[in-house]
Amino acid sequence: MSTTVATSIEADPTLPIIRITREFAATPEQLFRAHTDPALYAQWVGPNGSDTRVDYWDARTGGSWRFVSTLGGVGYAFRGCFHEVRPDRIVQTFTYEGEPDGVALETLWFDDLGDGRTRLRVQSLVDSIEGRDAWLASGMDTGVNEGYAKLEAMISNGPA
Amino acid sequence: MPADILNRVFSALADPTRRDIVARLAEGDATVNELAQPYRMSLQAVYKHLRVLEEADLVSRPKGRQPRPVRLETEVFDQMEAWIERYRLRAELRYRRLDAVLAAMGTADHKEGDGHVHDRGDEHRG
């Protein structure tokens, strides 16, 4: 899709926050649906080559969710709560069950840019700068990133 | 290991004075006296900040009889950038998959005209 704008990322030096911004050739309603419909979400959340199975999913204010992504025969489970779900904003918690004490508070905004375009902004807040940095560096030396160079090449060579 | 370095770097840069010192050194090497000038603080305090930056391998202060200027070490910045870039690329890959899902949704919307989305994910799920 030639009209997409590449993902930008910002790690705040003074707060345990990661911010991600990306534009999509879709309406806020479509983007919202891709984040709240479990069948749609499972199609794009996992890394390439993974298989994501939604365990439970209640995308309403006060609901909860859990999914397991299987990659190379290993299952990675994630769970959290939907704190608030509304068309322009989702607030949710996010925990990787391999590190059950860690929890991120994620806020997603769907900014309507008009003409069927939407800017997604995701802010992840964790409990310490150290935790954030471990998060940033995570997956760097595990099997999750096998074949990473290949993917990197794919990205720099243009759309997949 | 990488996370440890990243931790040290980010904690070192969490302080505004140290970020200032780094910005100043990005323009060129400077002596400790030069670095201390813009601040209302003792040389002692500046040395303390420099020690933290040194421990994170962000700056180096060659020792000797004649103290040489403090220098910015760019290697660790490159490393940090590489981690953040990898994280960014993983997000970008995820959002390219989302692009495809959204494109399929758009097609389904046009065909159906009733907002119903075809579940086209069967081949992705177990």
Please indicate, yes or no, if residue B123 is contained in any of the structural domains: no
List Cα–Cα distances, B71 to A1, A51, A54, B37, B55, in angstroms.
Answer: 44, 48, 52, 17, 14
Q: A140 and B86 in contact by Cβ < 8 A? A: yes
- pLDDT band (50, 70, 90) for residue A111: very high
pLDDT score, position B84: 80
Q: B97 and A48 in contact by Cβ < 8 A? A: yes
pLDDT score, position A138: 65
A39 touching chain B per CB within 8 A: yes
Domain covering A16-156: architecture:
2-Layer Sandwich (3.30)
Please indicate, yes or no, if residue B122 is contained in any of the structural domains: no
B65: burial class by Cβ within 10 Å (0-12, 13-18, 19+)?
exposed
pLDDT at A87 over 50: yes
Q: Which residues of B are less than 8 Å from A155 in CB distance?
A: 89, 92-93
pLDDT score, position B24: 85
Query: Are B48 and B88 in a shared domain?
Result: no
Q: Is B59 helix (H, G, I), strand (E, B) or coil?
A: strand
pLDDT score, position B111: 54
Return mean pLDDT, chain A: 83
Q: Which domain holds residue B107?
A: 77-117
Structure tokens, A110: 């769907």
pLDDT score, position A4: 57
pTM: 0.69
pLDDT digits (tens, 9 = 90+) for B42-100: 889 999 999 999 998 899 988 777 778 999 888 877 777 777 888 888 888 899 999 99
- Work out the number of other CB atoms within 10 angstroms of the CB of residue B87: 21
CATH number, domain of B12, equals: 1.10.10.10
For range B22-42, the mean pLDDT = 86
Query: Are B45 and B87 in a shared domain?
Result: no
Q: A42 and B121 in contact by Cβ < 8 A? A: yes
